[in-house]
Structure 1
Amino acid sequence: MENEVRILVVDDEERIRRLLKMYLEREGYIIEEAENGEEALDKALQVDYDCILLDLMMPGMDGVEVCEKLREKKATPVIMITAKGEETNRVQGFEVGTDDYVVKPFSPREVVFRVKAVLRRSSPTAFLDIEQGSANVIVFPHITIDQDAHRVTSHGEEVSLTPKEYELLLYLASSPNKVYSREQLLKDVWQYEFFGDLRTVDTHIKRLREKLNKFSTEAADMISTVWGVGYKLEVPTE
């Protein structure tokens, strides 16, 4: 069926894969498994999964490398599964394009919550409740956001963004020149305020700027840092 949600669960521990599979199948999702990074990357490049749950530390190719290589080809939402002592690796995971993370030992209910949040954000209609009047295309100098097509362009070229990067840009664009604190962005864009790390916002802003900069330095410069406060989408007055 077209509306089936397909999720890839990647972990070298069969016990964890079985636990996640059981809870996610209760939600009606189709679950596939991979026990190492090489298998995960191969499957992720061949199949268009709706979400990937990816263990960070695995023998051979680890989760960061899998995500980095995947991001060269696809923007599939990725939730990284990490251990408590892997904070540095977790930040590295965000830098290569992870959308979210879950810390071991985790509650299966938390994982389901995060998966549902990612799926909601990656839906082509997920952002149409942001008030933009009747127009679903937002046009700024250097950046155009087509909400119906879930597409961002800069100077006529499409900018490939992950669901989280897209939502962050769209949220900033919903109120141009308004400054948002990192705490507010984490609460409103990530849709929770009790699990998050403020550096999550910083790393996503960094990646968003880097991607826009490939097409237009002016577009990248529109994502403005207000020191000591937060971030805003600054629209040129020209």
Structure 2
Amino acid sequence: MTDRILIVEDEREIAEILTLYVENAGFEVARATSFQEAVRQHAQFQPDLMLLDIGLPGGDGLDVLGSVRRRVDTPVIMVTAVDDEVTKLSSLRIGADDYVVKPFNPSEVVERIRAVLRRTRGARVRRLLSVGHIEIDLDARTATCGPPGKRTRLPLTPSEFGILAHLATSPRRAFSRAELLEAVAPDSDAYDRVVDSHVSNLRQKLAAVGCADVIEPVRGIGYRLWAEP
């Protein structure tokens, strides 16, 4: 599976150079140019690693880092023109995995990406959620359903996977639409009811592999996962 890299950089020329080198190294790339877009793209694209500038329109790269770290442990390399010890230490304290100062050698950035991915994967324990016949691999971002030995992989969109994974963190608990929307698209301007569309598609895909009715609507609230073995 190709690793996904999210490049958060508002300077077009730098972003294009990074994109060229990172794609040529065999990675899949998505880009963001502002604070809001970075947070949204992270939730939707679900990268394996993020290259993150500090100075961004609409906010600070350190705030993006803090937002990501409150939810997941995606590796982050800061790529910035800010070359002072205070900012570097703040980045590392919040949870950055590496720090590259502009101007940089793009080939070196690619090698740092590879090094951080190797290091973080070696230290990471595989994270699985299992509820009834549903198994969710949070690192591979895959979900399967069915009895052991006969599981079928679900063809989920990032939003559908995020909703299913969030429901699986607390089986039988009723989650509001707002909670589910925040889990898959923080800072989104979408209405809570967009969750209904995602859940409807998710339930159809579950039913298609023999896992019907495991997601129940909760009147006046939202949804819950009720997967019996």
Please tell me the TM-score bracket, short chain as reference: 0.5 to 0.7
Bigger radius of gyration among the two? 2
- C-alpha distance 96-148 of structure 1, shift in aligned 2 (>3 A): closer
Paired residue for 1:38, among 19, 29, 36? 36
Q: CA deviation at 1:78?
A: 0.3
Structure 1: distance between partners of 2:93 and 2:51 = 17
Q: Give the gaps of 5 or more residues in structure 1.
A: 128-146, 152-238
Q: Give the gaps of 5 or more residues in structure 2.
A: 129-229
- C-alpha distance 88-29 of structure 1, shift in aligned 2 (>3 A): same
Cα deviation digits, residues 177-214 of structure 1 (max 9, x gap)? xxxxxxxxxxxxxxxxxxxxxxxxxxxxxxxxxxxxxx
RMSD: 1.8
Q: Which residue of 2 aligns with 1:140?
A: none
- The residue identity in structure 1 corresponding to 2:126 is A
**Partner of 1:80: helix, strand, or coil?**
strand
% identity of equivalent residues: 41
**Partner of 2:64: helix, strand, or coil?**
helix
Q: Which residue of 2 aligns with 1:149?
A: 126
- The residue identity in structure 1 corresponding to 2:103 is P
Structure 2: distance between partners of 1:39 and 1:103 = 22
Structure 2: distance between partners of 1:148 and 1:119 = 14
Structure 2: distance between partners of 1:84 and 1:148 = 33
Paired residue for 1:73, among 60, 71, 74? 71
Cα deviation digits, residues 214-233 of structure 1 (max 9, x gap)? xxxxxxxxxxxxxxxxxxxx
Q: CA deviation at 1:84?
A: 4.8
Paired residue for 1:48, among 23, 46, 49? 46
Cα deviation digits, residues 69-115 of structure 1 (max 9, x gap)? 11111110000012253432221111111111111000111101100
Paired residue for 2:80, among 71, 79, 82? 82
- The residue identity in structure 2 corresponding to 1:88 is V
User: How does the TM-score come out when normalised to structure 1?
Assistant: 0.50
- Mapped contact 1:45–1:73 kept (Cα < 8 A): no
- Mapped contact 1:82–1:90 kept (Cα < 8 A): no
- Mapped contact 1:67–1:97 kept (Cα < 8 A): yes
1:11 aligns with 2:9: yes
Q: Which residue of 1 aligns with 2:25?
A: 27
- Mapped contact 1:34–1:40 kept (Cα < 8 A): yes
- C-alpha distance 40-104 of structure 1, shift in aligned 2 (>3 A): same
